[in-house]
A and B are shown apart, each in its own frame.
Chain A
């Protein structure tokens, strides 16, 4: 070892563990133990739904938060992946259902969703702000109507039934506990991917493109390529969520990707906050709990009012959703001298 050698600093792995605080470890433990603490209904129906919807909203958050592109077509991408699972896998409707094995169907469906995302990206890349919202909403609505009317490929309003999860390594992955862990694992990977991307050179380029596309072009970046690649990544995440969603529901129909549901994903992302990848999952938590239990609280009829009011209140008080609320509350909670940053 010569004098000029610099002592090796902590590598990425070590740095990651250094940054882990007790809070994060507690959360990880809670998430892992969750299905054993609650009923199967909560593990599967609530937990699974939160993770899946959270992932779809995560793909929206990535595009909107880091890229400045609010795309309402994310649920549509998930729906395309779900339809792909029904068409290329097995279903009980007697239409399509090529019966390919799951280890072909799953990557294939995710890839289809990502490719469609690239297509949507290419169409939308020239728009910005409100126009992006509208063009992606139009694409989502057009696909919804197309799926409702087309009977040869999408089986119309009824959609596909009887989509089943595979049994791998002797585990039936649609049982509540395995399914929860599957969703958790995938969600953690997606979360990590988005977090990593944000700090990677691609992510920084994306954020710079959001802030000043002209400058990026001037220094030689292909702004279109950066944006379209972001769409591709979001398509991967949404597509994976779509495959899980198909297994979760056991079915896919236009009702899953209707305009109301599309707006629901936007509500989730906004309620949670578009600043950090944990936001969409927080938003999904609030949304799913309210949607499932509103019927017990104020009767089935008026839960839309409840959700709408919560959404309005959050947008008014805190434009960054729950995360923004938390930021505002934080200074009042911890004593100044004990705060670490």
Chain B
């Protein structure tokens, strides 16, 4: 061994070590998914079908949470506005989408209606309300709380306390076979897992929109201005950009996404009073964990929250629901800027 080689024998660097761990984790996950589980594993953890289903559900509901939270994080990141009425936008979009879909009979029209109406609502909110409260964070937050209280009650007045189920088009209905084996029957026949097609589509939609958002933020001029505004709003204004227009556009996008998520989520999880609080809390956790203002952070946060929720529901039903908030508290205490957020 030559002298030049000895310095490398100090072992792995931290980055290499993490990389190996990551590879190992991926390998284990792949095996868990694709292989037939041995009996000891089934006895310890439960049937494979349950585990795979929980993970799939976690990932697909993460898609939904990402859709809702991405708008929230953009609005906060850029305008430092914690819009606690974001859940109300979700629910209102769902209700309007439902009424539209019900009236015309087309679910896709419902989606369009939900999205567009909420985008308009976002523009109105930004123009009439938040523009006047510029710079006063606490007051903005309080105003959004007040708006959410009033909105929730008015929605209850208009649409009542009934639960509404969307009628999704036939081509989205039903379950599809996945290439994941859940069991091998005594006859040697392998049983493949079925999974609802609609949920897979929700995930696909979330990925598509996530990619579109990334492209918007990173490859367009507007995106560049938004990112600049997130970093330093004063500079953005000083460089001559019409900041109010950007703010309004971002709020419209964020609110529109919430409305879109309302219809999409409402189709699988129904529309009822109380959903606004639920999705607001979920968005808060996702955005805190992922980092305010970061779309990729929202994706990671959504994955974490979605998986924690579903796995908790199956394996720790009693306290699973507390888990999401414990995650949030831990992240806030240790790394307040979130996993992908910039240090403040």
Direct touch of chains A and B (CB < 8 A):
yes
Task: Evaluate contact between B146 and A315: CB separation under 8 angstroms.
Answer: yes
Task: Evaluate contact between B138 and A302: CB separation under 8 angstroms.
Answer: no
Tell me if B285 counts as interface (CB < 8 A to partner A). yes
Task: Evaluate contact between A127 and B137: CB separation under 8 angstroms.
Answer: no
Contact among A124, A130, A142, A263 with B82 in the assembled complex (CB-CB below 8 Å): A130
Separation in Å of the A116 CB from the closest CB of chain B?
A: 13
Separation in Å of the A112 CB from the closest CB of chain B?
A: 19
- Once A129-B137, A133-B141, A146-B322 are accepted as A-B contacts, the answer to whether A308 and B157 lie under 8 Å apart by CB is no
User: In the complex, what distance in Å separates the CA atom of A135 from the CA atom of B136?
Assistant: 20
**Chain A residue contacts of B319, Cβ below 8 A:** 146, 149-150
- Once A134-B288, A145-B321, A319-B139 are accepted as A-B contacts, the answer to whether A127 and B281 lie under 8 Å apart by CB is no
**Chain A residue contacts of B137, Cβ below 8 A:** 129-130
User: In the complex, what distance in Å separates the CA atom of A266 from the CA atom of B281?
Assistant: 17
Tell me if B277 counts as interface (CB < 8 A to partner A). yes
- Once A150-B318, A309-B150 are accepted as A-B contacts, the answer to whether A138 and B82 lie under 8 Å apart by CB is no
**Chain A residue contacts of B138, Cβ below 8 A:** 70, 129-130
Tell me if B154 counts as interface (CB < 8 A to partner A). yes
- Once A70-B138, A308-B149 are accepted as A-B contacts, the answer to whether A149 and B322 lie under 8 Å apart by CB is yes
User: In the complex, what distance in Å separates the CA atom of A305 from the CA atom of B157?
Assistant: 10
Contact with B along A246-271 (1 / 0, CB 8 A): 00000000000001000100110010
Task: Evaluate contact between A126 and B336: CB separation under 8 angstroms.
Answer: yes
**Chain B residue contacts of A319, Cβ below 8 A:** 136, 139
Separation in Å of the A188 CB from the closest CB of chain B?
A: 28
Number of A-B contacts (CB under 8 A): 103
Tell me if A123 counts as interface (CB < 8 A to partner B). yes
Task: Evaluate contact between B143 and A134: CB separation under 8 angstroms.
Answer: no
User: Considering only CB atoms, which chain A residue lies closest to B335 in the complex?
Assistant: A126
Contact among A149, A302, A315 with B142 in the assembled complex (CB-CB below 8 Å): A315
Tell me if A311 counts as interface (CB < 8 A to partner B). yes
Tell me if B52 counts as interface (CB < 8 A to partner A). no
User: Considering only CB atoms, which chain B residue lies closest to A313 in the complex?
Assistant: B146
Task: Evaluate contact between A304 and B329: CB separation under 8 angstroms.
Answer: no
User: In the complex, what distance in Å separates the CA atom of A130 from the CA atom of B281?
Assistant: 15
Task: Evaluate contact between A259 and B332: CB separation under 8 angstroms.
Answer: no
User: In the complex, what distance in Å separates the CA atom of A280 from the CA atom of B291?
Assistant: 33
User: In the complex, what distance in Å separates the CA atom of A269 from the CA atom of B284?
Assistant: 23
Tell me if B145 counts as interface (CB < 8 A to partner A). yes
Task: Evaluate contact between B318 and A149: CB separation under 8 angstroms.
Answer: yes
Separation in Å of the B325 CB from the closest CB of chain A?
A: 4
Q: Find residues 105-143 in chain A having any chain B CB closer than 8 Å to their own CB.
A: 123-124, 126-127, 129-131, 133-135, 137-139, 141-142
Tell me if B100 counts as interface (CB < 8 A to partner A). no
**Chain B residue contacts of A142, Cβ below 8 A:** 322, 325-326, 328-329
**Chain B residue contacts of A129, Cβ below 8 A:** 137-138
Task: Evaluate contact between B332 and A131: CB separation under 8 angstroms.
Answer: yes
**Chain A residue contacts of B329, Cβ below 8 A:** 123, 135, 138-139, 142
Tell me if A316 counts as interface (CB < 8 A to partner B). yes
User: In the complex, what distance in Å separates the CA atom of A135 from the CA atom of B335?
Assistant: 12
User: In the complex, what distance in Å separates the CA atom of A139 from the CA atom of B328?
Assistant: 9
**Chain B residue contacts of A189, Cβ below 8 A:** none
**Chain B residue contacts of A296, Cβ below 8 A:** none
Task: Evaluate contact between A138 and B284: CB separation under 8 angstroms.
Answer: yes
Q: Find residues 289-318 in chain A having any chain B CB closer than 8 Å to their own CB.
A: 301-302, 304-305, 307-309, 311-312, 315-316
User: In the complex, what distance in Å separates the CA atom of A304 from the CA atom of B145?
Assistant: 12
User: In the complex, what distance in Å separates the CA atom of A206 from the CA atom of B147?
Assistant: 32
Contact with A along B106-120 (1 / 0, CB 8 A): 000000000000000
Task: Evaluate contact between B157 and A302: CB separation under 8 angstroms.
Answer: yes
Task: Evaluate contact between B321 and A149: CB separation under 8 angstroms.
Answer: yes
- Once A142-B322, A259-B277 are accepted as A-B contacts, the answer to whether A134 and B145 lie under 8 Å apart by CB is no
Task: Evaluate contact between A312 and B147: CB separation under 8 angstroms.
Answer: yes
Point out which of A127, A138, A145 has the most chain B C-beta atoms below 10 A from its C-beta: A138
Give 4 nearest A-B pairs by CB, closest first.
A308-B149, A142-B325, A308-B150, A312-B146
Can you sample 9 A-B contacts with CB below 8 Å? Answer: A126-B336, A130-B138, A133-B82, A139-B325, A146-B319, A149-B322, A305-B149, A305-B157, A315-B146
